[in-house]
């Protein structure tokens, strides 16, 4: 009798945990579970003691909802003084993303433009044709990847870390100069790499349309000594598409077509190791890309036109507790970027032009964080970068010597301080300032302010931030017409509201106002190209995201962004600036544990081109089917990219005769992976 009562009591308790978890808001869940635990452990031993779960049945235990560490990050993200989107390894896998560009394409307010040579990221309506991603800062595990000649953030296959080795991508919108200095103009993108144990021993092979193949071998593990290692090699190549460019049609010769000129070849190597607070990371990528577009007035259809990009980054970091309530880190990092470009001109125009640049830099940064002062959480730090080489030049293959050269070295330093002040239990104020000094930036002080009100399932953030982007070596020296450039600046005011609707839905709305001054742009003054500080750009917009995680395992996210950017001098809207972006991402299990599908649909509204034309809006859809453990440890996935075979184009830049560049048609890719 009493046994019966005890058993039903246990069952009641087990189901209560589940019910508590279901009944309350997502963010309340952990709290409520604790409350449930506390209520249930009637002989109150102390707050920290959970009830005796060992008395529950196996079935009841398996029914308890586990909120994993991801939600702790979600909680931090919720209270961060920025509008943050995190794309996890799981999301990358589900959607079948190949590159960081694919990841960013899925993020609200971001879009990517391709010119069949590089990939360029647009943020909140700002995607200037010809901008080499200089206005976003990309970090690998917290240190700067942008090089020191172009300040370019690579996001295609020229990004040194294979997307399969990415643990998560943290996209922090808005100016981040108060923390990160130069280039943190529209967004800071931190790519967090996987640990050895998360990767294990894996080999994958991918083959697809346009003669694309890709192979990866990785080995990672954690030893009982605590040492964790990871090594991975990726090789890839693609013949690319055969393309038609009517701009190059010649009467009587038929359509101007390219065959095999859109080819790409790359390899990347990534190693990391960590032991007790000390971590080492090194990544290298080497990529060759053919140029089918005859950019810069080169000969159409000439297979010699191509670019080679080599990038190496390495960092050694220590992070740990330095005293009670004080944590610190110190890091030394190294970077090298080498670019070569071959541009085939008519012999009368000099023949083959060889373009090159080489950047090499060393960096030192250190920071301290303290919560020793009650309601304050302080972060102070400093950074020093020595640009050992910032070389550029070009020559003709058939003559000795350089036609142009520019060899520089420089150094820059910065100090920053941030305070996170807990004004009340729900209100936190963030104040930050950073001072930068460098040859092309001069002295810059970048402040930031943020108020974060977190109350129950709702969060409201009011944010003010500034940033600058110093003219880079390329802008300063490559063209004779550009000499005295000053940094461009941005001021942003943003309001972010976030709310959990029930336990499985999250809604986030953000309003922003950007004011960009002294914008650095390439101008064509009667044939003389040169960079100048121009205009003032105002941009306003709204972003909304609705996310859900359903019990069935279905994950869905829909985001919409609207923006309007105007050049105040000309009064005209910006080029390559879609007003509307609508994105839908769905991942759902089809046959449990056997087959899952990921669907990714994006709509981009019309865009103005440099020549003043309008490119129509389009819908792009990608579908990925994944079958884990088909045979043994073999995972298979099939991806259909541009599923609807949409014909669409991205705007060309100053260097293109084409005003619009056609983008990839539908392709299928099969990927097999074996886990050892």
Q: What is the token pair recorded at 15? A: 């189901």
Q: What is the DSSP string of 10-52?
A: HHHHHHHHHHHHHHS-GGGHHHHHHHHHHHH--S---TT----
Q: Which is nearer to another protein, 56 or 139 (CB)?
A: 56
Among 10, 221, 304, 515, binds another protein (CB under 8 A): 221
| Segment contacting another protein by CB under 8 A, of 70-78, 236-244, 329-337, 341-349 | 70-78
Among 67, 207, 233, 511, binds another protein (CB under 8 A): 67
Q: Which is nearer to another protein, 67 or 415 (CB)?
A: 67
**Min dist. Cβ of residue 593 to another protein (A):** 8
CA end-to-end span of the chain = 52
Among 226, 246, 252, 527, binds another protein (CB under 8 A): 226
Residue 34 binding another protein, by CB under 8 A: yes
Report DSSP state, residue 617.
P
Q: Quick check: 308 and 340 in contact, CB under 8 A?
A: yes
Residues 510-569 close enough to bind another protein by CB under 8 A: 551, 553
Kindly write out the interface string for residues 598-637 of this chain, putting x where it contacts another protein by CB under 8 A and - elsewhere: -------------------------------x--xx----
**Min dist. Cβ of residue 376 to another protein (A):** 10
Q: Which is nearer to another protein, 33 or 545 (CB)?
A: 33
- How far apart (Å, rounded) are the C-alpha atoms in residues 566 and 483? 26
Among positive and negative, which fits the CA dihedral 156, 273, 370, 424? Answer: positive
Report DSSP state, residue 585.
E
Among 47, 242, 346, 347, binds another protein (CB under 8 A): 47
Q: What is the token pair recorded at 586? A: 């769905």
Residue 58 binding another protein, by CB under 8 A: yes
Residue 393 binding another protein, by CB under 8 A: no
Residue 56 binding another protein, by CB under 8 A: yes
Q: Which is nearer to another protein, 199 or 640 (CB)?
A: 199
- How far apart (Å, rounded) are the C-alpha atoms in residues 455 and 468? 33
What is the three-class DSSP state of 4? helix
Among 7, 8, 15, 197, binds another protein (CB under 8 A): 197
Among 3, 253, 398, 425, binds another protein (CB under 8 A): 425
| Segment contacting another protein by CB under 8 A, of 4-12, 51-59, 334-342, 480-488 | 51-59
Place of tokens 């890839």: 236
Q: How many other CB atoms are there within 10 angstroms of residue 515's CB atom?
A: 16
Q: Which is nearer to another protein, 260 or 553 (CB)?
A: 553
Residues 647-676 close enough to bind another protein by CB under 8 A: 674-676
Q: How many other CB atoms are there within 10 angstroms of residue 205's CB atom?
A: 14
- How far apart (Å, rounded) are the C-alpha atoms in residues 110 and 505? 22
- How far apart (Å, rounded) are the C-alpha atoms in residues 270 and 87? 20
Among 43, 46, 374, 400, binds another protein (CB under 8 A): 374
Residue 222 binding another protein, by CB under 8 A: yes
What is the three-class DSSP state of 526? coil
Q: Which is nearer to another protein, 388 or 460 (CB)?
A: 460
- How far apart (Å, rounded) are the C-alpha atoms in residues 84 and 138? 14
- How far apart (Å, rounded) are the C-alpha atoms in residues 287 and 295? 19
The size of the interface with another protein (CB under 8 A), counted in residues, is 51
Among 2, 42, 59, 612, binds another protein (CB under 8 A): 59
Among 6, 8, 19, 223, binds another protein (CB under 8 A): 223
- How far apart (Å, rounded) are the C-alpha atoms in residues 112 and 116? 12
Among positive and negative, which fits the CA dihedral 137, 141, 143, 147? Answer: negative
What is the three-class DSSP state of 440? coil
**Min dist. Cβ of residue 188 to another protein (A):** 24
136-140 and 187-193 as β-strands: parallel, antiparallel, unpaired? parallel
Interface with another protein (CB under 8 A): 30-31, 33-34, 37, 47-50, 52-54, 56-59, 61-69, 71-72, 75, 197, 200-201, 219, 221-224, 226, 374-375, 422-425, 551, 553, 629, 632-633, 674-676
């Amino acid at each position: 009798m009493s046994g019966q009562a005890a058993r039903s009591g246990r069952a009641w308790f087990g189901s209560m945990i589940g019910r508590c978890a279901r009944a309350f808001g997502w963010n309340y869940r952990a709290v409520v579970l604790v409350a449930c635990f506390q209520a249930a452990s009637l002989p109150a031993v102390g707050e920290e003691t959970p009830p005796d779960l060992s008395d529950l049945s196996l079935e009841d235990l398996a029914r308890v909802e586990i909120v994993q560490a991801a939600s702790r990050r979600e909680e931090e993200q919720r209270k961060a003084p920025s509008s943050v989107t995190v794309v996890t390894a799981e999301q990358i896998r589900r959607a079948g993303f190949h590159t960081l560009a694919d990841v960013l394409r899925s993020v609200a307010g971001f879009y990517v433009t391709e010119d069949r040579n590089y990939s360029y990221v647009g943020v909140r309506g700002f995607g200037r044709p010809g901008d080499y991603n200089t206005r976003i800062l990309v970090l690998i595990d917290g240190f700067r990847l942008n090089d020191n000649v172009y300040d370019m953030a690579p996001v295609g296959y020229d990004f040194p870390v294979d997307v399969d080795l990415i643990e998560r991508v943290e996209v922090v919108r808005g100016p981040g100069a108060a923390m990160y200095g130069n280039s943190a103009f529209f967004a800071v993108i931190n790519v967090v790499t996987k640990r050895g144990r998360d990767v294990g021993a894996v080999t994958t092979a991918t083959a697809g349309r346009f003669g694309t193949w890709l192979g990866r071998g990785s080995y990672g593990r954690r030893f009982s000594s605590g040492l964790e290692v990871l090594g991975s090699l990726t090789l890839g190549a693609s013949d690319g598409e055969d393309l038609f460019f009517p701009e190059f049609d010649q009467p009587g010769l038929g359509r101007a077509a390219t065959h095999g000129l859109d080819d790409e070849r790359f390899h990347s190597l990534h190693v990391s190791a960590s032991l007790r607070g000390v971590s080492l990371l090194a990544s290298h990528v080497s990529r060759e890309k053919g140029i089918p577009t005859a950019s810069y007035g080169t000969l159409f259809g000439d297979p010699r036109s191509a670019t080679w990009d080599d990038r190496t980054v390495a960092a050694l970091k220590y992070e740990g507790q330095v005293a009670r309530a004080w944590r610190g880190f110190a890091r030394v990092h190294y970077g090298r970027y080498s670019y070569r470009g071959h541009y085939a001109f008519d012999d009368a125009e000099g023949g083959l032009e060889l373009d090159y640049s080489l950047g090499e830099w060393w960096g030192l940064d250190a920071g301290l964080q303290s919560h020793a002062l009650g309601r304050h959480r302080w972060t102070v730090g400093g950074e020093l970068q020595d640009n050992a080489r910032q070389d550029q030049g070009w020559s003709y293959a058939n003559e000795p010597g350089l036609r142009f050269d520019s060899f520089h070295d420089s150094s820059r330093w910065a100090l920053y301080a941030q305070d996170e002040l807990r004004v009340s239990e729900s209100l936190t104020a963030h104040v930050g300032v950073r001072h930068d000094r460098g040859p092309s930036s001069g002295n810059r002080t970048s402040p930031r302010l943020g108020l974060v009100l977190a109350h129950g399932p709702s969060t409201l953030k009011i944010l003010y931030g500034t940033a600058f982007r110093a003219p880079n070596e390329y802008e300063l020296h490559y063209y004779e017409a550009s000499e005295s450039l000053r940094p461009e600046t941005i001021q942003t005011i943003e309001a972010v509201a976030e709310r959990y609707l029930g336990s499985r839905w999250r809604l986030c709305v953000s309003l922003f106002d950007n004011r960009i001054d002294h914008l650095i742009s390439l101008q064509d003054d009667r044939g003389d190209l040169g960079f100048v500080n121009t205009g003032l750009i105002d941009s306003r917009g709204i972003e909304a995201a609705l996310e859900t995680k359903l019990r069935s395992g279905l994950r869905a996210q829909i985001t919409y962004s609207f923006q309007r950017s105007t050049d105040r001098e000309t009064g005209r809207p910006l080029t390559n600036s879609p007003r509307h972006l609508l994105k839908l991402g769905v991942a759902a299990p089809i046959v449990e544990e056997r087959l899952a599908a990921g669907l990714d649909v994006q709509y981009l509204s019309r865009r103005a081109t440099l020549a003043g034309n309008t490119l129509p809006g389009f819908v792009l859809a990608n579908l990925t089917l994944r079958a884990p453990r088909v045979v043994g440890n073999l995972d298979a996935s099939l991806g259909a990219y541009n599923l609807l075979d949409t014909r669409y184009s991205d705007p060309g830049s100053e260097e293109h005769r084409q005003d619009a560049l056609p983008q990839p048609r539908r392709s299928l890719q099969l990927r097999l992976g074996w886990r050892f």
